[in-house]
Amino acid sequence: MTVRVVACGRTDAGRVRSHNEDSFEIDEDRELYVVADGMGGHSHGEVASRMAVDTIRRFVAEAEREHDATWPFAYDPDLQRHSNVLKAAVQLAHDQVLSAIRRDGNLFGMGTTVVGCLVRGDTAAVAHVGDSRAYRFHDGELRLLTQDHTWVNEQVVAGILSEEQARDHPLKNVVTRALGGDSEVQVDVTEIALDPGDTLLLCSDGLTTMLDDREIEAELQKIADGELNGACEALVKEANSRGGHDNVTVVLLRAEAED
């Protein structure tokens, strides 16, 4: 089955930060959707997140034009081609951020998390590094598609911390993977079969530190049959009403039956 995707996005500096280090991309022609949350301060995070988003967009466009082009990274035969394209795009974005740091010492310490989605047919490829997240809202229920690459989440997985302890832990924002961090980056990729009516949410942690999954689900249930732009605005507004401690970015994409 082929589905048609409609999408919207919003980003906001929040109520505490003086500038916005998040970036996002909606390329409806290529069905590419990306959220990046920059780190580094002094506008360096904004440089990293914008660089990541632009690199991913360019690589996906080039891979579309040059179907048989030489592959820059190992090809995973267990993934569909567009999933490999998205994974390679994120790896290349990591390399670009590292190269920028090496060229300009003033950028030392910058980096970015990223979550991206590339749709072909009825299959959505989701790739991520860091603690920006992807969710699927299906039949009125929200399901997390990604696992945070953070120290705290690793402790939860290991059974050392509970979910409740993790939520308010002082180290909850310490990421263990990011673009621009280690010399190599591991990119997690998953493939999702989309049904008409499904909604995918990509977001920075400025949303998920202010709202838990049940609260996000409740917001999406309000607009299950409504208009996506209103949903984007409602999620950002709700995050800010809870304190807006960080930049917040949301991208929503809905799968609709092809006419």
**Using CA atoms, how far apart are residues 49 and 156, in angstroms rounded to an integer?**
27
Q: 3-257 has which fold? A: Phosphatase 2c; domain 1 (3.60.40)
Single-letter amino acid code for the residue at 229 = N
10-residue mean pLDDT series, the chain (259 residues): 90 94 96 96 86 97 77 88 96 96 91 97 97 96 96 86 78 88 90 96 96 94 79 95 96 90
pLDDT value of residue 71? 72
Parse the chain into domains and list their residue ranges. 3-257
Our CA angle for 123, 125, 129, nearest 5°, is 165
pLDDT value of residue 52? 98
**Using CA atoms, how far apart are residues 132 and 161, in angstroms rounded to an integer?**
20
Output the pTM of the full model.
0.95
Predicted confidence (pLDDT) per residue in 98-140, tens digit: 999 999 988 988 999 999 999 999 999 999 999 999 999 999 9
